[in-house]
Amino acid sequence: MVSDIISAKDLHKVDPVFGQLSFDNHEQVVFCNDKDTGLKAIIGIHNTVLGPALGGTRMWQYANEWEALNDVLRLSRGMTYKSAITGLNLGGGKAVIIGDAKTQKTPELMKKFGEFVHSLSGRYITAEDVGMETADMDLVREVTPYVTGISESKGGAGNPSPITAYGVFMGMKAAAKYKFGSDILEDKTIFVQGIGHVGESLVEHLVDEGANVFIADINQERLEEVRSKYGVTIYGGSDIYSEPMDIYAPCALGATINDDTINKLQAKVIAGAANNQLATEEKHGKILQEKGIVYAPDFLINAGGIINVYAELEGYDKKEIMRKTENIYNTTLEILDNAEKNNITTNHAALNIAQNRIEERKNENSN
């Protein structure tokens, strides 16, 4: 089927890439298509001032291509700031593959995707995200060295999710310290939304600490599995946002803090793994600030995974990974204090630090 040709007079209404609201001066956006494997992917390279753009690949059945493009633009931008604030010499990039990871992911498709990654000669380095497993990265590794998150048996740092969860746990504790005066989570009511790779690991930390954990997921099997493993409660209601709770931990997809949910939110702290939790950063960040809800910036506290995969490139060890990840606690506290002192949102405070680091490096590079 031939797609409709947009008439020249209507082209200005479209602005498909550079005019997207989520377009933020990205350096490069690559559309990948392969008829034989059915691959349809988009790679977003947001910024490479600090180093090659590293970020995972998400496979998701998007409602349409706009949604996929919007996602990759937002996610790759987030990676730039995540690496910058964590002190890593990496830029920000991300990829999305359009499709159902359960039924459409094949070894051929993953290898073809790897070939596209390879064609960028290291400007973009991939890893896991939603819908991806370590085994998928091992397949990509067969066609390109520009991949991290590969199996430990193949020389990689393995699945980054447990480290991500540990970092989120550290950030959550810091936010609790700030809000409640203590970082002990025992008896705190915590809702974990999304109990996939990261969510489950986070549940384990929370249960170990004696928190009162509720779990929510669209996957019923996962819910049963995690409940029986950790003895937590499956949330049975229909509107998690209206529930009274101490801490809301978004660990599924982004933008759950939006115009529909923000006024219902009962949580006192928000700290989770999902990328881009605020649908509109400044607007929703400001409302949270006004409501006195402490928001631990997502790109700061979910950096454990990138710290882990960075170790594959830099060759540092597990001890150093854990030290860097634990430090998320201190950085979170600093940012929460900084936001309060300057009367800005916590997201804004975190972004300022990340952007300053990039600007400084840019100036050094140009001298």
The residues binding ligand NAD (CB under 6 A) are 128-131, 160-161, 164, 193-199, 216-219, 222, 251-253, 273-275, 302, 305
Query: In whole angstroms, how close is the CB of 179 to ligand NAD at the nearest point?
Result: 22
Query: In whole angstroms, how close is the CB of 82 to ligand NAD at the nearest point?
Result: 8
CB nearer to ligand NAD: pick between 121 and 242 = 242
Catalytically active residues are: 94
Gap between the Cα atoms of 7 and 20, Å rounded: 20
State both tokens at 160: 């980054």
CB 216 within 8 A of CB 191: yes
Query: In whole angstroms, how close is the CB of 276 to ligand NAD at the nearest point?
Result: 8
CB nearer to ligand NAD: pick between 71 and 246 = 71
State both tokens at 18: 């550079």
Gap between the Cα atoms of 33 and 46, Å rounded: 20
Q: What are phi and psi of 335, to 5 degrees?
A: -70, -40
Q: Please give the radius of gyration of the chain, using alpha carbons only, rounded to the nearest integer.
A: 20
CB nearer to ligand NAD: pick between 252 and 344 = 252
Nearest-CB residue to ligand NAD?
196
**Count of all residues that appear for the chain in the document:** 367
Residues 6+ apart with CB under 8 A from 15: none
Query: In whole angstroms, how close is the CB of 234 to ligand NAD at the nearest point?
Result: 12
Quote the distance between the C-alpha of residue 357 and its chain's center. 20
CB nearer to ligand NAD: pick between 44 and 160 = 160
